[in-house]
Structure 1
């Protein structure tokens, strides 16, 4: 019973960690200080929980818990969080925390879900199943964000054409102004990209644990990474090259076609993926 409760807390730590990384990503792309502040406090909560478990483990084993692979991964993740928080507090190095904790999240996810020596066979199988659930949930959430973003871009083009053709009427008034439509489309992609990245990280961990014959050239894997690169390129084009308005809306609509191809076609061709089974 105690082991089950501890496992749930480990999973809570990973979820809080994922939300923190997501908010740091939003701050990195959008210079959102509020998101940065919330991410910092979530990461601080993760650090407190990790430290408590580290001390508890020390009392249980009567030694410093670093001798096994599982303990080493846990301590490694704890060190990354500690260093990022301390350095950021002392020197205020922007975005250092974000990039450091992308690595930290990966390490913590491996520690929590990989069937290492600290878990029984039953616990390991359950954790692997829950890892798959979290992976799929994050992927679908990112797909949802991208889909609604597509809707905003489509509405942008409708409104743009109505204004260009000077078709004034109730339809024009009921659709939001172009600036808001463009911004909402962008924000949803800003949320969807890190969710997709975290889903890919967890999915790869799950595939390596579950399938001995996992291959990087599987259609679903390649399609998902293509999606991530394509939507990341959208953010780059918008933020660095300043592409906005009709051009970026058309780009987003094209990306949605890539999403549909990846979801339906590549999933059916995959050798191991859940949606292709």
Structure 2
């Protein structure tokens, strides 16, 4: 539909301006630009939501199945969480870091097929179980992204303190222990969502395909994500590890997420049209 295409383009443009505004605020501590960036981000959320409704009506299904839709839904989740955090916590730099990733997801969606799935696969793909599976996995990715944003803020503040570069940036960030704790909490949300999503994916495959895709690249990548983040949680909760190295491990976990999200998708036939 022409309307959906126009909304998509306008959303990309406004999203880029919002991220640019948050970047200017990050560099210059400009509160006026920060407010403009927030309202632009709010408009982006409205446009994204309208786009989802139009696409759902156009294809008569939840619009999260194809790679294009998955990326768009991922970005929508990040914008939603950003607005909630900005409303209740006012952690501006967290919103900035999160939406760098969110805008990247929107940009990547430009290079993904935007049409519906092939007709032969439509009935096979559309089921409540699959929709819940995809939704849980994308929720996990969103939680891991928030954890990444806190981890990056931790690294930034750690470096500023190490170099004794006092300034307004430090005043607009939480203290190191709190950011590290929030990074862990978001990981604590992401891991169960990822695990449940993976289990439901296996259940769906056993019902619909009568086989278990153990050697699928996306499945192996998802298991690797769970292993890295589970190790992080074990070291935090059981071994009581804290500090810089733990934050770096959390960032490493997100790198595995990115590899699984993009690279493994090129090596799989099973997940060719969905996540």
Partner of 1:206: 204
Are the equivalent residues in 1 in contact too, given 2:205–2:211 (CA < 8 A)? no
What are the residue-to-residue correspondences of 1:64-75 with 2, within 5 Å?
none
Partner of 1:172: 170
- CA-to-partner distance for each residue in 1:157-207, whole Å, 9 max, x for gaps? 100111111111101111111111001100000111111111011000111
What are the residue-to-residue correspondences of 1:48-197 with 2, within 5 Å?
129-197=127-195
CA drift of 1:156 comes to 0.1
Structure 2 gaps of 5+ residues are 1-122
In structure 2, how many angstroms separate the alpha carbons of the residues matched to 1:195 and 1:254? 19
Q: 1:241 aligned to 2:247? A: no
- TM-score w.r.t. the length of structure 1 is 0.52
In structure 1, how many angstroms separate the alpha carbons of the residues matched to 2:221 and 2:242? 26
- TM-score w.r.t. the length of structure 2 is 0.53
Rg (Cα) greater in structure: 1
CA drift of 1:268 comes to 2.3
CA drift of 1:213 comes to 4.8
Are the equivalent residues in 2 in contact too, given 1:156–1:249 (CA < 8 A)? yes
Secondary structure of 1:235's aligned partner = helix
- CA-to-partner distance for each residue in 1:59-102, whole Å, 9 max, x for gaps? xxxxxxxxxxxxxxxxxxxxxxxxxxxxxxxxxxxxxxxxxxxx
In structure 1, how many angstroms separate the alpha carbons of the residues matched to 2:185 and 2:272? 29
CA drift of 1:211 comes to 1.9
Residues 197 and 161 of structure 1: is their aligned pair in 2 closer, same or farther, counting only changes over 3 Å? same
Secondary structure of 2:182's aligned partner = helix
Partner of 2:65: none
Secondary structure of 1:154's aligned partner = helix
Are the equivalent residues in 1 in contact too, given 2:124–2:208 (CA < 8 A)? no
CA drift of 1:274 comes to 5.4
In structure 1, how many angstroms separate the alpha carbons of the residues matched to 2:130 and 2:193? 15
- CA-to-partner distance for each residue in 1:92-125, whole Å, 9 max, x for gaps? xxxxxxxxxxxxxxxxxxxxxxxxxxxxxxxxx7
Structure 1 gaps of 5+ residues are 1-124
Are the equivalent residues in 2 in contact too, given 1:139–1:199 (CA < 8 A)? yes
In structure 2, how many angstroms separate the alpha carbons of the residues matched to 1:207 and 1:275? 14
Q: 1:216 aligned to 2:211? A: no
CA drift of 1:127 comes to 10
When the two chains are superposed, the root-mean-square deviation of aligned CA atoms in Å is 1.9
Secondary structure of 2:145's aligned partner = helix
Partner of 1:66: none
CA drift of 1:215 comes to 2.7
223, 226, 233: which one aligns with 1:225 = 223
CA drift of 1:275 comes to 4.5
